Structure 1
Amino acid sequence: MEDAVRISTLAAAAATPLTDPRRRTLLRGLIALGMGAAASPLYAGNGWSARPIRLVVPTPPGGGTDLFARTLAAALGRALDQTIVVDNKPGANGIIGNDAVAKASPDGHTLLFTYAAAVVINQTLQPKLPYDGLRDLLPVAQVGAGGNFLVVTPDFPARTLKAFVEQVRKRPDAYDYGSWGIGSGGHLTMAALAMQTGLRLRHVPYKGVAPILADLQGGVIKAAFVDTSSSLPLIRAGKLRALAVSGTRRAPATPEVPTMTEQGYPFDTDSWYGLFAPAGTSAAIVQRLNAEVNRLLADAAMRERFLQLNMGMAPPKTAEQFAQTVRADVAVWGKVIRANNISVD
Structure 2
Amino acid sequence: MRTTLLRRHLRAFALGALAAWAVTAVHAQGADAYPDKPVTLIVPTAAAGGTDTISRLIADALSKQLKQPFIIDNRPGANGILGTELAARATPDGYKLLFTYAAAMVVNPSLYRKLPYDPVKDFAPVAQIGRGGNLLLVRQDLPVKTLKEFVAYAKARPDKLNYCSWGNGSGGHLAMESLKKQAGLAMTHVPYKGSGPCVQDLMGGQVDAAFADMSSTVELVRAGRLKALANSGPSRIPMLPDVPTMTEAGYPFTNYSWYGVLAPAKTPPAIVKKLNIAVNQVLKDPAVVQRLRELNFTDLPQNTPEQFAATMQKDLHDWSVLVKDIGLTLE
State the TM-score, normalized to the length of structure 2: 0.86
Identify which of structures 1 and 2 has the higher relative contact order when contacts are C-alpha pairs closer than 8 Å and 6+ apart: 2
CA distance in 1, matches of 2:219, 2:153: 26
Matched, 1:310 2:296: yes
- What is residue 16 of structure 1 aligned with on the other side? none
Residue identity in the other structure for 1:332: D
Question: CA deviation digits over 1:172-213, x for unaligned, max 9?
Answer: 222101111100000001122223222221111111122212
Instruction: Indicate the residue corresponding to 2:256 in structure 1.
Output: 270
Measure, in 2, the Cα distance between the counterparts of 1:158 and 1:278. Answer: 46
Unaligned runs of 5+ in 2: 1-28
1:247 aligns with 2:233: yes
Q: Secondary structure at the match of 2:215?
A: coil
3-state SS of 1:139 partner: strand
- Give 2:197's match in structure 1, choosing from 197, 205, 211: 211
Tell me if structure 1 keeps the 8 A contact 2:145–2:229.
Answer: yes
Task: Find the counterpart in structure 2 of residue 74 from structure 1.
Answer: 60
SS of the residue aligned with 1:317?
coil
Residue equivalent to 1:321 = 307
SS at match of 2:216: coil
| Whole-angstrom CA distance in 2 between matches of 1:168 and 1:238 | 22
- Aligned AA for 1:80? L
1:126-165 alignment runs, 5 A limit: 126-165=112-151
**Could you tell me whether the CA contact under 8 Å between 1:150 and 1:242 is conserved in 2?**
yes
Pairwise CA RMSD: 1.8
How many Å apart are 1:145 and its aligned residue?
1.1
Q: Deviation per CA, 1:305-341, whole angstroms, max 9, x where unpaired? A: 1123233323332211111111111112212222222
- The answer for the alignment partner of 1:185 in structure 2 is 171
Q: What is the CA-CA distance between 1:282 and the residue it aligns to?
A: 1.9
- Equivalent position of 1:173 in the other structure: 159
How many angstroms apart in 2 are the aligned matches of 1:344 and 1:45? 40
Which blocks of at least 5 consecutive residues in structure 1 are unaligned? Answer: 1-42
CA–CA distance in 2 between the matches of 1:155 and 1:117? 30
- Maintained 8 Å contact 2:31/2:271: no
Using structure 1 for the length normalisation, give the TM-score: 0.83
CA distance in 1, matches of 2:323, 2:149: 26
Match of 1:330 among 302, 311, 316: 316
What amino acid is aligned across from residue 326 of structure 2 in structure 1?
N
Find the residue that maps to 1:133 and give its secondary structure.
Answer: coil
| Cα distance in 1 for residues equivalent to 2:243 and 2:168 | 26
Between the two proteins, the alignment pairs up a number of residues equal to 303
* 1-structure distance, mates of 2:174, 2:143: 23
Larger Rg: 1
Q: Is structure 2 residue 65 aligned with structure 1 residue 105?
A: no
C-alpha distance in structure 2 between counterparts of 1:264 and 1:290, whole Å: 40
Q: Distance in 1 between matches of 2:130 and 2:295?
A: 11
Moved more, 301-310 or 90-99: 301-310
Asked if the contact 1:250/1:259 (under 8 Å) is kept, the reply is yes
Aligned partner of 1:59 in structure 2 is 45
Contact in 1 for aligned 2:98/2:261 (Cα 8 Å): yes
Residue 300 (structure 1) shift: 1.3
- The 8 Å contact of residues 140 and 276 in structure 1, kept in 2 or not, is answered as yes
Corresponding residue of 2:81: 95
Segment drifting more, 329-338 vs 45-54: 45-54
Q: Secondary structure at the match of 1:142?
A: strand
Amino acid paired to 1:69:
S
